[in-house]
Structure 1
């Protein structure tokens, strides 16, 4: 962001400098040219006035000679022509003679104002000697354009220097402004990222940047403190509930076991049913605690090899599948690295496989696939069991969302919480031919290395 702010301000300043300096330099250049021409014409008229006394009043040529000498000392070349276009007098240089000079003399003697040309770095000017309509002669004065070029170069040089100084000042100010605004925001972004990764004690600095950024950082710190307190409070509640519920349940189960050891007949059947209810209640408490932990999960992402995790969990669950006469296989998949909390993918797969093996009847099949999607690792757990209707799928990720579930009804809720906490998605689809498919989209690793290690 710092670079974008600096470049934006620099571009804006450059445009403003160009719009201000270039027209000013063009205007000053035009004024210099006009002033140079006017000065040249004034010098030409001075010589023409002295030449008129000689040509029309038949005065001695002394005054004309003095003006020609003065023009020569000033670095100009001048030539005087009579009414017939004949050269009468000139300076020692010949730049005011030749074809171009005579082309200027003709319209002057005819009573017109010629357009003076520029030839080899010299400017020519022609003025009538006497009346404009009936001149007694004409004067041509050639002046070097070097002084004009030098002044124009100086104008553009100063303009470029002013523009460069303004641009340098703009670069300095824009970089400082961009850093003043951008650094606190970048630090706040990094702090928010670490907080999202599970470092709950992260706080942003509030002593740098504009007032709005400092207020934003202070508000963020307040939010982070409340989030930390809330998460720690929930974790404490979970720990307390875990202790307060499991201990009496364990004691109750032990007493029932002791009573069942000496019971007979109807008493033994009733105690066995009570033991089953206690076991069911224990599983329900464990499931609720697992859901609560998943909801409060603030994972610190690590690189997880998805295909290897799938193969390991399938191998671990194969004995359970064989005991239930269900075929459990893992299809060969892409070698992908996902970014997830440590152990979360294994927990998700365990819940999905437990649900699938519970739902699929004997002789059924459960397949786990792993392949690359556009920007994620896609894991699919496919079974050919009874499946779910649309209403059941819509509520499956909520606690006890599926009233027809054989277990606690919390497995998919745990899966959904863990996957979404890691930035992924979970959805349910129908298996072609019957059954249920759970599709997980897991975030790929973003550390600059290849996300796909095919063939490893």
Structure 2
């Protein structure tokens, strides 16, 4: 942004300078040429007036010689002609074919057109009546002083333009930084807030008033978000404590009652214990969904192959106990994705748990991964009963599938953890029957501040 603002202002200033300085220099150059020509013609007329007194009135040539000497002292070359050259300065620049052509035009009573000669300028004036002159005067003047003044005009114009452009560059860079630096700082603060640094605040003391107001509004939003998240976390902690404690106490009392009860009562107590266990799992699932919805992950580099291998190893005993084949496809690349710490493990745990519950004995669960241009694709395939099309459309909602055998919250947790990390999740039918969960996860850039490719401490799947 700084470069765009600076370049825009510099280009605009350059255009304005060209439109202002160049026409001014051209105008001054034209004025210098006119002034130089007028001065030369005036000097020529002075000599012509003195020559007329000699040629027309018959007076001595003293005055004419005096003016020729004065022209010679100024550095001009002059010559007086009647039918032939009458007198001249020692310099020969006013003599030659060009001068003779000018004299012929003047003696015929015509306005001469002085030619452009390299290094000198010629002027011719009649001595006497313009229509029937008694003679003509030709004056040659060097163009070096004129060229020097014109060069000075263009040189000073270039210096002024360069100085103005340099000042414009400095002002443009300062203005661009004044505007863009607070925006860059605000962008960095917003990125850190999105990564989970809830106490992040933007600087409100720099930049234009609009940017300062934006930073103040951002700080207000960040403070409210922090209070809201902390409040929700506190509610979750309280609910977790308030619900789990009485459930655990109730389970212990039922265990005590079942120990001394008769057969019929023991059966009823066992059913009650099963419902309490189901309620405990439901509470744990709701708390897991709430935590996932409040997740603000700080992305880390996670190697998919390492996590998949670790979770397959952890769930293998459960799958073998139920007669299910759980494998990881080792073919293809091993991409590294950008995800929050422990999120991929939680996602795979929920997907494997759902698949283990759905697949009958003798079935299989396969996990594979592939790398695309900007994402990594992870698929969890099973050959179980699958899911109807209507159920797939609402499966990622809380209790979306009323026919689910578990709590109905596993896919909701998966969807939330995937989307909060910038990925997508969808359900497809497995070829030959079954369900496939397809995850599109963002790849980790080549360079990053941290890595999290090793396994993490997670709950034992046997205790789920």
Is the structural similarity TM-score above 0.5? yes
1:281-311 CA-to-partner distances (Å, cap 9, x unmatched) read 1111111000000011111222211222122
Q: Distance in 2 between matches of 1:282 and 1:137?
A: 128
Matched, 1:252 2:253: no
Q: 1:72/1:243 Cα in 2 relative to 1: closer, same or farther (>3 Å)?
A: same
Give the corresponding residue for 1:390: 389
Q: How many Å separate the matches in 2 of 1:368 and 1:112?
A: 106
Q: SS in structure 2 opposite 1:214?
A: helix
User: 39-48 vs 123-132, which deviates more?
Assistant: 123-132
Task: Answer whether contact 1:307 1:333 (CA < 8 A) is retained.
Answer: no
Alpha-carbon distance in 1 for matches of 2:179, 2:311: 49
Q: Is 1:58 matched with 2:58?
A: yes
Matches of 1:433 and 1:131, distance apart in 2? 119
Is the alpha carbon distance of 1:289 and 1:140 closer, same or farther for their aligned partners in structure 2, counting shifts above 3 Å? same
Per-residue CA shift, 1:19-43, capped at 9, x if unaligned? 2111111111111111111111221
Alpha-carbon deviation of 1:346?
0.8
Q: Which residue matches 2:198?
A: 200
CA distance in 2, matches of 1:102, 1:372: 92
**Structure 1 residues 326 and 115: CA distance shift in structure 2, 3 A:** farther
User: 3-state DSSP class of the match of 1:6?
Assistant: helix
Q: Is the 8 A contact 2:301 2:448 kept in 1?
A: no
TM-score by length of 2: 0.91
Contact 1:307–1:334 at 8 Å: present in 2 too? no
Per-residue deviation, residues 68-90 of structure 1 (Å, max 9, x unmatched)? 111111111112222x4x32221
Runs in 1 of length 4+ with deviation above 4 angstroms? Answer: none
Structure 1 window deviating more from structure 2 (305-314 vs 347-356): it is 305-314
CA offsets 1:296-331 (integer angstroms, 9 cap, x no match): 111122221122212222222222222333332222
Change (3 A) 1:314 1:103: farther
Please state if 1:406 is matched with 2:405. yes
Shift of 1:384: 2.9
Which sits farther off after the overlay, 157-166 or 140-149? 157-166
What's the offset of the Cα at 1:447? 5.8
1:222 offset after TM fit, Å? 0.9
- For normalisation by structure 1, the TM-score amounts to 0.92
Cα pair distance change 1:346/1:34, threshold 3 Å: same
- Structure 1 gap segments, 5+ residues each: 451-456
Confirm whether residue 16 of structure 1 aligns to residue 24 of structure 2: no
> Which one of the candidate residues 288, 294, 300 is aligned to 1:290?
288
Unaligned 5+ segments in structure 2 are 450-464
Deviations 1:135-184 (A, max 9, x none): 33322211111111111122122212222222222222222222222222
Inter-CA distance 257–110: structure 2 relative to 1 (3 Å threshold): farther
* Structure-2 change in CA distance of 1:369 and 1:111 (3 Å): farther
The 1:69–1:441 alpha-carbon spacing in structure 2 relative to 1, beyond 3 Å, is: same
Report the secondary structure of 1:39's partner residue. helix
Q: Map 1:33-432; keep pairs closer than 5 Å.
A: 33-82=33-82, 84=83, 86-331=84-329, 332-432=331-431
> What is the aligned partner in structure 2 of residue 454 from structure 1?
none
Assess if the C-alpha contact under 8 Å between 2:285 and 2:409 holds in 1: yes
SS in 2 for 1:368: strand
